[in-house]
Structure 1
Amino acid sequence: AERHAELLRRTLVLLADQELTSSAFAARVAASTGASLGACMLAGLAAFSGPLHGDAITRVHALIDDARHSGAEQTVRRRLADNKSLPG
C-alpha cells in the first residue's frame, strides 16, 4: 500500500490544478476525517459515478455532435426550448 501512496499523492497534486470538482471534494472530505487512502479514493469514485459528474463528457460530446449536424445556434435554441441543459 505504501508504494501506491506516493503515486496517489502525485496524482492528487496534479489534479489540484483542475479546481475543486465534486469528486475531489468528496475525497478531500474523507481525507480530512483521517480515512485511509483507499477510502478517500472510494469516496471520490463514488461521487464521480454520478451522471452529473462522471458522465458529463458523454453529454458534451452529444452536444458537439448535434451542433456539427444542425449548427450551433439551432442546437442551443432547440435545447433551451426543450428545457435541456447545455453541458460543459
Structure 2
Amino acid sequence: MDLKKGPSWSAVRYMIGEIQYGGRVTDDYDKHLLNTYAKLWFGEHMFQQNFRFCNCKVFPIPVFKTVEDYISYIDSLPMVITPEVFGMHPNADIT
C-alpha cells in the first residue's frame, strides 16, 4: 500500500474474491457473483456517508466512537437475512 495513494483496491478485491473467500467457492457462477460483489462494494466510495451495501436501507456502515458501540450494533443485526437484502430474488435461498 502506498501511504500517499491509499490501498490498491484491485489488490483488495483480488485477495477477497480469489484468495481468502474465492478459494473456497467451488461453483463458477458463485465465484463470478463474489467477484461482482467485491467490485461493487470495495473501493474508495465505501467511505462516503451515503454508501450502503444494498439499496434497501439496511446495513449502513456505522460510525461510532467506541468498540463497545460497534459490538452492540453487530449484536443487534439479524441472524438470518433474506436474499432481497442483496438485491436478489426471494428464491435465491432455495437449494
Decide: shared fold, TM above 0.5: no
TM-score (norm 1): 0.30
TM-score (norm 2): 0.28
The structure with more helix, counted as a fraction of residues: 1
Higher relative contact order (CA closer than 8 Å, sequence separation 6+)? 1
Over alpha carbons, which structure has the higher Rg?
Answer: 1
